[in-house]
Structure 1
Amino acid sequence: MAHIDYYFATISPFAYLAGTRLEEIAAKHGATITYKPLDLMALFSRTGGVPPKDRHPSRIEMRAQEIERQAKKTGLPLNPKPAFFPTNMAPSAYAIIAAQNAGGGDLGKLAHGILAACWAEDKNIAEDEVIKGCLKTAGFDPSLADSGLLAGAETYAANLEDAVKRGAFGSPFYVTDSDQRFWGQDRLDDLDLHLAGKI
């Protein structure tokens, strides 16, 4: 059975624009997924990237255009200038880590719900009530937001180290158990073809 390690940040617009396609592709091929939320700004600094606000204006402008184009392609609602971006990624990442450890709900729905809260609903995903609402909607106990904070912090840091070791440098980033790497939601079709044994 194929396996995918999914490295992403809970404030990443491109992870949001992936929608639930990763989960659909994994289900199609009987693949499993490990969700590995991480600190994207730290990943950038470790792998030669630059936070969006510090990039050259031409890169900032291109990113803004690309986000809106991709939103139109996917049909996902998007506010290109969300009210709470950037915000602290750690609390929402800890909740995903706790939910993955606890089981019983839909992790894909949780991850997408948190991303949508930022990029489509103008909610602050660093706030407990927002996180608890996302947990509940995805079938998890909302109290997971209050538990396992130490373990969450340790796993969050470990996810960053693992991402660097595995060659990830952005979000979303998908790495298969055969070490095939796919960067960006626009490479999900390639991941699908790879799992089908076509590329």
Structure 2
Amino acid sequence: MAHIDYYFATISPFAYLAGQRMEAVAAKHGATVAYKPMDLMQLFGRTGGVAPKDRHISRIEYRAIDLVRSAAKLDMAFNLKPAHWPTNMAPSSYAIIAAQNAGGGDLGALTHSLMRACWVEEKDIAQDDVIKACLTEAGFDASLADSGLLAGAETYGRNLEDAYNSGVFGAPFYIVGDERFWGQDKIEDLDAHLASLA
């Protein structure tokens, strides 16, 4: 059975635009998925990247154009300048880690719900009430937002190290064995690769 390591940041607009297409591809091929939320800003600093706000104006302008164009192409609601971005990624990431450990709900739905809250619904995904609502919506116990914080912090840090050691430098990033796929526009390539393993 194929396995996907999915590296992402809960405030990444490109991870939001991936929607749940990766989950659909994984289900199609019977692949398992490990969700690995990470601190993307730290990863940028360690892999030669630059935080969006610090990029050259040409890159900032093109990023804005590309995000709006991609959202339109995917027919997804999208707010280029959400009220609560950037925000602390750790609390929402810890909740995803706790939910993955607990099981019983839909991790893909949880992850997308948190990102949608940021990029569409003008909510601060660092806030407990927002996280708890997303947990409940995805079929998890809302109390997971308050549990396993130490384990969540340790896993969150380990995910960053795993990402760095695996050649990850952005989000969303999908790894299957030795094959790496960067970007929401590479999900078709991920699909083709998984098909080739059958």
Q: TM-score, normalised by structure 1?
A: 0.98
For 1:102 and 1:89, how far apart are their aligned partners in 2? 20
1:171 equivalent in structure 2: 171
2:20 equivalent in structure 1: 20
**1:135 Cα deviation after fit:** 0.1
SS in 2 for 1:196: helix
For 1:122 and 1:46, how far apart are their aligned partners in 2? 30
For 2:19 and 2:178, how far apart are their aligned partners in 1? 23
Q: Read off the aligned partner of 2:87 and give its amino acid letter.
A: T
SS in 2 for 1:126: coil
1:149 equivalent in structure 2: 149
Q: How many residues in Structure 1 have an aligned counterpart in Structure 2?
A: 197
Stretches (4+) displaced over 6 A: none
2:181 equivalent in structure 1: 182
Residue deviations 1:111-139 (CA, integer Å, cap 9, x gap): 00000000010000000000000000000
Q: Read off the aligned partner of 1:87 and give its amino acid letter.
A: T
SS in 1 for 2:196: coil
For 1:53 and 1:76, how far apart are their aligned partners in 2? 24
Q: Does 1:106 find its partner at 2:103? A: no
Q: Does 1:65 find its partner at 2:59? A: no
For 1:111 and 1:134, how far apart are their aligned partners in 2? 8
SS in 1 for 2:88: coil
| Unaligned residue ranges in structure 2 (runs of 5+) | none
1:83 equivalent in structure 2: 83
For 2:12 and 2:71, how far apart are their aligned partners in 1? 13
For 1:75 and 1:148, how far apart are their aligned partners in 2? 37
Identity of aligned residues (%): 70
For 1:16 and 1:83, how far apart are their aligned partners in 2? 16
Q: TM-score, normalised by structure 2?
A: 0.99
**1:179 Cα deviation after fit:** 1.3
SS in 2 for 1:181: strand
| Unaligned residue ranges in structure 1 (runs of 5+) | none
Q: What is the RMSD computed on CA atoms of the aligned residues?
A: 0.7
1:42 equivalent in structure 2: 42
For 2:20 and 2:75, how far apart are their aligned partners in 1? 13
SS in 2 for 1:23: helix
Residue deviations 1:150-190 (CA, integer Å, cap 9, x gap): 000000000000000010000100000x2100000000000
1:131 equivalent in structure 2: 131
